[in-house]
Amino acid sequence: MSSTAGQVIKCKAAVAWEAGKPLVIEEVEVAPPQAGEVRLKILYTSLCHTDVYFWEAKGQTPLFPRIFGHEAGGIVESVGEGVTHLKPGDHALPVFTGECGECPHCKSEESNMCDLLRINTDRGVMIHDSETRFSIKGKPIYHFVGTSTFSEYTVVHAGCVAKVNPAAPLDKICILSCGICTGLGATVNVAKPKPGSSVAIFGLGAVGLAAAEGARISGASRIIGVDLVSSRFELAKKFGVNEFVNPKDYNKPVQEVIAEMTNGGVDRAVECTGSIQAMISAFECVHDGWGVAVLVGVPSKDDAFKTHPVNFLNERTLKGTFYGNYKPRTDLPAVVEKYMNGELELEKFITHTVPFSEINKAFDYMLKGESIRCIIRMEE
């Protein structure tokens, strides 16, 4: 057992005291893990757009003070009662969704949407006892999506922790905790393009670029990037995108443009924006008879979209995905191996690195649209 097991650990964390205000590095107390929980020493974390969205308190019940962060890599410091798949010293990735192993979703080969541990953005406490494990001078500091990785130590439900190859560099594989797997899995696990096929990717942010990387790995020959910002096109070439369409350049719907470019439509389309119009376009741009469109982007609460039922009757398929259909504990280790054997390239997603003391710079880079992923080094 580690010397700190069973004790409260004092460490640094970046605390969001109120919406949209810079994070403040504070000394926090991190309680030991309770039954079914793990305490992790975070070595590297990364900023995802979801952190920024909830930090800005857009469209949800604001909950502050809070420790954000959900893409990270670290080492198990100690485990709570009943935890058997992890031990101190294991290298691990915490994930915003989990795998209890017992519910109908976990027992199904077709689902990764665990009943117990699927993402809950409103909950700021641990499931076990509805308490926080973070505090400052006795005052609770709330958790975020069960991970709260903007802290040198954090406590996570054991079902949300994937044990990974200790030889894998945590400063690279930490980005697999969220966005990269979401896009990559949408393509390789759900759209499943065949070698030589055509794929349209709507939205060339981090998730869309990961979806393009999935198309590249799958051997697609035409990977068409669709984005309203033409400056994203050059960077996207690194991820296998070899044709580009900016819908603003045409006076007709982009699905018609793509259908003309591809002799009737693409074989697969992956939508990574959350825009209703992009969702419609992605579905309507796939070829009749065999085309499959996959929705990844999260829409606004009251959104709905309309398409003619004939599009389905003409044998087009529309699917949705959550976290790329990966089960965190079962599937993430194999994704790490894809990186280790050179099949998956992660370095090109990492555009910036900052020390923990400068975490607010990561927010600036993302808000200005300058970064894909900014790695935050916990140890200065």
160 is catalytic: no
Q: What is the tens place of the pLDDT at every residue in 309-332?
A: 999 999 999 999 999 999 999 999
272 is catalytic: no
Query: Mean pLDDT for the chain?
Result: 96
Helix (H) / strand (E) containing 268: strand 268-271
For position 237, what pLDDT does the model report? Answer: 98
Average pLDDT value for residue range 174-203: 97
CB neighbourhood size of 27 (10 A): 11
User: What share of the chain in percent tops pLDDT 90?
Assistant: 95
Cα–Cα distance measured from residue 272 to residue 226, given in angstroms and rounded to the nearest whole number: 10
Which amino acid appears at position 152 of this protein? E
114 is catalytic: yes
Average pLDDT value for residue range 31-41: 98
Average pLDDT value for residue range 48-64: 87
Average pLDDT value for residue range 11-19: 97
Question: Catalytic: which of 106, 181, 285, 374?
Answer: 106
377 is catalytic: no
- Please tell me which residue, 76 or 58, carries the higher pLDDT value: 76
Question: Catalytic: which of 66, 97, 105, 114?
Answer: 114
What's the whole-model pTM score? 0.95
Helix (H) / strand (E) containing 233: helix 232-236
321 is catalytic: no
Question: Catalytic: which of 48, 160, 174, 374?
Answer: 48
Tell me which residue of 230, 184, 225, 224 sits closest to 204, measured CA to CA.
Answer: 225
50 is catalytic: yes
pLDDT range class, residue 62, cuts 50, 70, 90: confident
**Is the model's pLDDT at 76 over the cut of 80?**
yes
103 is catalytic: yes
Q: What is the tens place of the pLDDT at every residue in 253-282?
A: 999 999 999 999 999 999 999 999 999 999
For position 1, what pLDDT does the model report? Answer: 52
Question: Catalytic: which of 37, 77, 99, 178?
Answer: 178
For position 330, what pLDDT does the model report? Answer: 97
**Is the model's pLDDT at 176 over the cut of 60?**
yes
Q: Quick one: DSSP state of residue 16?
A: B
71 is catalytic: yes
pLDDT range class, residue 145, cuts 50, 70, 90: very high
pLDDT range class, residue 380, cuts 50, 70, 90: confident
**Is the model's pLDDT at 124 over the cut of 60?**
yes
Question: Catalytic: which of 118, 133, 268, 287?
Answer: 118
Contact between residue 150 and residue 14 where contact means Cβ atoms under 8 Å apart: yes
Helix (H) / strand (E) containing 94: strand 91-94
For position 221, what pLDDT does the model report? Answer: 98
